[in-house]
Amino acid sequence: MVFFRQSFALAALCLTHAASALPALHDLSSRAQSTDLCGNSANLILPNTPWIVYNMLYNAAQMVGTQCTNYDKVTTSENGAKEILWSSVTNIDYVESTNNVPKGYSFVGLTQNLETKLSTIESIPAAYSWKRSNTTDFKGNICFDFMTNDIKGDSTSSSSHELMLWLQYEGGQLPIGWTNGPVATIDNLFGTSWKLYEDVNTDTGITVSTLMPTKQFEGSFTGDLKDWLLALADLGIFTESTYVNVGNAGTEFFYGDAVMDATLQLQINLP
């Protein structure tokens, strides 16, 4: 059964125009210690990092149970890069009538160097590792989620473009545009080939382009995400003059009892 994922436009409202929007968030940066974020739109801005941790329950009204996004700490990896340790704790009951409704998105979002043209970005290095422990059936995914637009800072109008890179998925989750079949294939990207699915999110009017790997990633991913965006530009999805307005990494969830522990490196480098 195909599901139609809600766009994370609510998060985009918070994450675009970073300099002006961030103070309006629940800014806990003065005490950026290990924190559990369990409320709808609960978030934590991390000082001296390019990140915000976000628990977004855009379909909380259709959720029976709880969902928390837990921030652990920021450390330095062996390669000298900052990385964030965090987790997503899902305890959502299976309900037949809503089993195909995504309840929300647990993620770490970028707050720096956004609203920049793709052509002027030097690189978007990413390293994402995760381990999910399930005690029941679970439906959801692991993904990167970016938004672009030819208009700087716009991530909510119908001219915006939502870009999803699914790394792993289970429980029968399918992307927007699945019933249409793949519109393109991209070979030799991050060590595998990908099928591109695309359609308009009828709730928002925003076109969603999702890349699904031929072989799922098993717990880790490393790559320069600019290569992903350039591959889409090569297909004519947008041009290299488009603005990268939103970027994040996270997990979507529908139902299940599961804990996902993750470590993430993600940033946008400018010349």
pLDDT beyond 70 at 176: yes
> Which pLDDT value is given to residue 33?
64
* 59-68 pLDDT, tens digit each: 999 999 999 9
Segments in the chain forming alpha helices (H): 9-15, 18-21, 225-234
Q: Which of 9-23, 72-86, 97-111, 240-254 has the lowest mean pLDDT?
A: 9-23
Structure tokens at 36: 């559990």
Q: What are phi and psi of 118, to 5 degrees?
A: -55, -40
Three-state DSSP state, 167: strand
User: What does the domain layout of the chain look like in residue ranges?
Assistant: 9-266
The dihedral formed by the CA atoms of 116, 119, 120 and 124, expressed in degrees to the nearest 10: 80
Structure tokens at 248: 């994040």
The CATH number of the domain covering residues in 9-266: 2.60.120.180
* DSSP per-residue codes, 73-120: EEEE-TTS-EEEEEEEEEEE---GGGTTS--EEEEEEE-SS-SEEGGG
pLDDT beyond 90 at 78: no
* 213-247 pLDDT, tens digit each: 999 999 999 999 999 999 999 999 999 999 999 99
Burial 3-29, CB ≥16 within 10 A → b, else e: bbbbbbbbbbebbbbbeeebeebeebe
Which residues are 21's β-sheet partners? none
